A and B are shown apart, each in its own frame.
Chain A
Amino acid sequence: MATRTIVEAPVVERRKRLDETYIGEWLMTTDHKKIGVMYMLTGFFFFLAGGVEALLIRTQLAVPNGHVLSPEVYNQVFTMHGTTMIFLFVMPTLTGFGNFVVPLMIGARDMAFPRLNAFGYWMVLFAGIFLSSSFLLGQAPNGGWFNYAPLSELTSNCGNAVMCTPGLNEDFWLLGILLLGISSIAGSLNFVVTILKMRAPGMTINRMPLFTWMTLITAFLLLFAIPSLTAASVMELLDRHLGAHFFQFAAGGDPLLWQHLFWSFGHPEVYILILPAFGMISEVLPVFSRKPIFGYTFIAWSGVAIGFLSFTVWAHHMFAVGLPPIAQAFFATSTTLIAIPTAVKIFNWIATIALGKVSLKVPMLFACGFIAMFLIGGLDGAALAVVPFDYQVTDTYFVVSHLHYVLFGGTVFGIFAGFYYWFPKMSGKLMNERLGQIQFWLMLIGINLTFFSMHILGLLGMPRRVYTYPDNLGWNEINLLQTVGAFMLGLAIMVFFWNLITSLRSGLPAGDDPWDAYTLEWDTSSPPVHYNFLTIPTVRSRRPFYDMKNPDIADWKTATH
């Protein structure tokens, strides 16, 4: 019998693999929560960039005959302001919310295709850096965010103009948009499959949280809208570099083709930007009113109706191009129709607040601000469907006002409502209420100072996209007022970032369920563990977490759905 000496095995000092380091964990993650957070941080970064561009615009326009920016630079800045805010702030941020929240809400452990998800994120970051790097070359896109041909075409028959947008400007735009389109398609496919296939047992389509509903509709809109933009972008690249002439009238092409292709993407895009915010509001309002959403089915299906109708209204951006009257009548009608489901949503939100027990925490403040401001954007939007009136105000500051009430008063207020609401879940910390209130009031006043007066400016005849204006047309005071309002908005955003940083560092611990909420994401730790749920919960109503916390009066016992 030989005896065996047990020698202690030498400790192997192994270097950490990349995905085990803190940075590497983020770089290589396929976790929907981390990807969601990265989407949001990227979105907020570009929010700052787009905000700086907005303030540059307002500084240039503060007084008549301003000399802060040259006309070339101004045109690049306003183009990049729109492009950045839409494609690099709002879309990534909303995708970030969807990524973080939707799998948790539906009781899934991750998205259906985690690696595709990571691919989509890195694509956005790359496209964002690519687009912004154009400033380093002094050749940022300068064709406006809707990039109308033939102005945006290198080879266009510019007649006699010396300045005919030569240079790489539009190539940056077209290629950046193509990259972002790839990311959007990947992301929306992932959402569709995740939402349709990975819901917890018992969570029927009719029990999905409304944010999930709106994310699903948005994903479908993206799948059907992006191809049109992709096609248009490729066609213009062919025009610019390979001698095609899709948009060249002299060679038998048609400049209006670009507009039809662009807006048949562009109008669904408007709803892509607002529907997820509708969803967030529909989550925040019930929790802070302490009662379920009023008219769940109507909110969900009015979203579907908006989704379908959004593909039938694109030419209301083109009332001035000389379409036949009967076509204009059609698009005026479809635009009028789409206002109905939107109105239904607003009424249901107010009915959710009414008869409730309203707790005006910061998420709720922003949600209420959303309704109040989005209503203005909806009303002046309906006014723009009044075709003969539209002949007067299209391409003026009236439209700038409308779109900012919808996208700033609507989407951005929605994003802040959602961010203040879900931040405790993401970080385990509470944000500072007082700073949040200051931010809210600064924003509410700032937005109305800046954008309400733009209605008036449009009625007074000031066209949009002009780098300066003469001093004798009665536009001076209003422009100055708008610049003051814009800087107030800038201050509000600074307050937000200050709040974000200090709360991350030293915010009060949030606990798992700080708002006594209703949906499944709050049934996890804050922040949630990698696998989200130890056991996948079973769902019996639209408010599964409410049911768990209130077994005696659970919705599935008292409500019929």
Chain B
Amino acid sequence: MRMPIFRRMKHRGAIIPIVLLSSLLFTACGGNSPTILNPTGPVAVQEANLFWFILAVATLVFVVVEAVLIWSIIRYRERPNTPAPRQIHGNNTIEIIWTVAPSLFLFAVLTGTIYTMFNLTNISSTNGSIPEIRVAAVGHQWWWEFDYPNQHVNNADTLYLPQGSVVHMDLQSSNVIHSFWVPSITGKTDVIPGHLNQKIFRADQVGEYHGQCAEYCGTQHAHMYFNVIVLDTNAFNAWVSNEQQSARTPTDALALQGQKIFTGSGGCTGCHGIVGVNLNSFDAAKTNSGLSATALVGPNMTHFAERRFIAGGVLIASEGHNWANEPACQLVNGKLANKDNCGLYQWLHDPQAVKPGNDMVISSLSDSQIYALIAYLQSLK
């Protein structure tokens, strides 16, 4: 009976490192992951550095303690004719040593923690000529609204940021608690009704990053993603000046028909706003009831065509495209060749099937109405 246990006992030491290593291999699979270990910007870099520090300390402790444990079990296992061991009750010197030793380790970690914590947001723009920027992130159930109070710009699902600029982000919610998180750029801060939490961070590299809500906020918490697009200063300024424009009036007949459906029979304006159509300005479009009397339920659609996400990332245009040039959503002779491949079609056809529980409850639209709406939405550049 004893021998088989013992034989397996020898393997016991191997199991844990094998599992550890095989799990680490999976990090290789996480190529596209929004990992915290590939940080950009000083906040995420400091957070990741602390991780490597504590990983080193923990690995050291782990290896030593597990080794002593396994060695003790194997070395002192019962063998035939083992005499009764000495009845040792304890030793105060040893106790003091192993109380002090972990304390030293822990206080090293604590020092790093507190030092980093107080310096985390002590940052300035990479270049003196880059101004800081203020953005409000408003958590809805379940999508993000991004409002730029100084630029008078309001957008949903995508956060545009200028490269190298210190971002002061006001976190607001009028419903439940959400949590703002862009793993590559900054850790989380909760978005709590009635609390004016602020986040300060900086994105240092141009690119597209994954962001998401990290606090359980109801049925569709899983679909509260957003993407962050970091642009260099010129591109960002160009984006802002386009964004500040009112919606273009479409020239295409089908799109004009879509606009009519939007403002009329479709009932879209009950929840959505388009500056120049049913809204006078972007400030009127702020949906957060704490900010504006004109509370809207759904996102501002003025520049919808540039977006890649619908409704918290439940549908995403394919890589490198937006909803205007998404291949699956190109109308040919006023029709979609394969309508079920087009996310925009799926959404307008039955939003509750795509994202059960979301606020978009609409009466069903005919295919021709949907095509017209798609044409209109794609014109909103």
Contacts and interface: CB of A to CB of B under 8 A. Distances in A.
Nearest to B53: A386
B214 A459 contact: no
Contacts of A390: 187
Nearest to B37: A459
Nearest to B352: A162
Contacts of A375: 62, 65-66, 69
Contacts of A388: 46-47, 50, 113, 116-117, 120, 187
A6 interface: no
A206 interface: no
A250 interface: yes
A71 B179 contact: no
B5 A387 contact: no
Given A158-B141, A159-B140, A161-B175, A475 B30 contact: yes
Given A322-B190, A356-B76, A387 B65 contact: no
Given A289-B85, A290-B85, A379-B61, A455 B23 contact: yes
Contacts of B19: 445, 448-449, 452
Interface string B51-83: 100110010011001101110110111100011
A131 B51 CA distance: 40
Interface centre among B75, B141, B287, B313 (most CB of A within 10 A): B141
Contact of B175 (A160, A383, A473): A160
Interface in B106-158: 106-107, 109-110, 112-114, 116-118, 120, 140-141
B33 A461 contact: yes
B171 to A, nearest CB: 8
Contacts of A460: 27, 30, 33-35
Contacts of B337: none
Given A160-B175, A163-B141, A453-B23, A379 B359 contact: no
A360 B6 contact: yes
A340 B106 contact: yes
Contacts of A297: 90
B88 A555 contact: no
Given A383-B58, A386-B112, A292 B36 contact: no
B229 interface: no
A353 interface: yes
A553 interface: yes
Interface string B282-307: 00000101000001010000000000
Contacts of A157: 174-175, 193
A227 to B, nearest CB: 24
A19 interface: no
B88 A291 contact: yes
A395 B179 contact: yes
Given A456-B26, A461-B33, A295 B50 contact: no
A459 B30 CA distance: 10
B72 A320 contact: no
Nearest to A318: B190
A325 B88 contact: no
A133 interface: no
Interface centre among B30, B54, B356 (most CB of A within 10 A): B30
A65 B244 CA distance: 37
Interface residues of B, number: 117
A30 B74 CA distance: 45
Contacts of B62: 375-376, 379
A558 interface: yes
A320 B73 contact: no
Contacts of B75: 354
B105 to A, nearest CB: 9
Given A448-B19, A467-B222, A291 B195 contact: no
A346 B65 contact: yes
Contacts of A250: 193-194
A474 B31 contact: yes
Interface stretch (B94-102, B160-168, B326-334, B372-380): B94-102
A256 B190 CA distance: 11
Interface in A428-480: 433, 437, 441, 444-445, 448-449, 452-453, 455-456, 459-461, 463-470, 472-478
Contacts of B264: none
A468 B46 CA distance: 30
B179 A320 contact: yes
Contacts of B316: 470
B254 interface: no
A329 to B, nearest CB: 5
A381 to B, nearest CB: 10
Given A382-B54, A395-B214, A294 B90 contact: yes
Contacts of B34: 460-461, 473
Nearest to A295: B90
B9 interface: yes
A165 B89 CA distance: 56
A336 B54 CA distance: 13
Contacts of B24: 456
Interface string B14-54: 01100110011011011111111100000010111011001
Nearest to A455: B23
Interface string A549-561: 0000101001101
B97 to A, nearest CB: 9
A561 B90 CA distance: 12
Nearest to A78: B216
A344 B33 contact: no
B220 interface: yes
B195 to A, nearest CB: 6
Contacts of A376: 62
B30 A391 contact: no
A254 B194 contact: yes
A394 interface: yes
Contacts of B263: none
Contact of B117 (A158, A320, A332): A332
A464 B62 CA distance: 26
A459 B174 CA distance: 30
B85 to A, nearest CB: 5
Nearest to A75: B219
B276 interface: no
B69 A344 contact: no
Contacts of A75: 216, 218-219, 221
Contacts of A559: 87, 89
Nearest to B119: A388
A350 B65 contact: yes
Contacts of A22: none
Nearest to A389: B50
Contact of A165 (B183, B218, B289): B218
A559 B94 CA distance: 18
B66 A395 contact: no
Interface stretch (A144-152, A179-187, A491-499): A144-152
Given A328-B117, A354-B76, A383-B58, A555 B87 contact: yes
A537 interface: no
Given A148-B177, A433-B1, A466-B222, 13 more contacts: A295-B90, A329-B118, A355-B86, A372-B69, A375-B66, A395-B188, A396-B214, A452-B23, A459-B35, A463-B213, A478-B23, A558-B87, A559-B87
8 contacts: A160-B297, A162-B361, A254-B194, A255-B177, A325-B118, A356-B85, A379-B62, A461-B34
Q: Which 9 A-B pairs have the closest CB atoms?
A: A391-B187, A249-B194, A474-B30, A466-B222, A461-B34, A474-B33, A161-B141, A159-B175, A322-B197
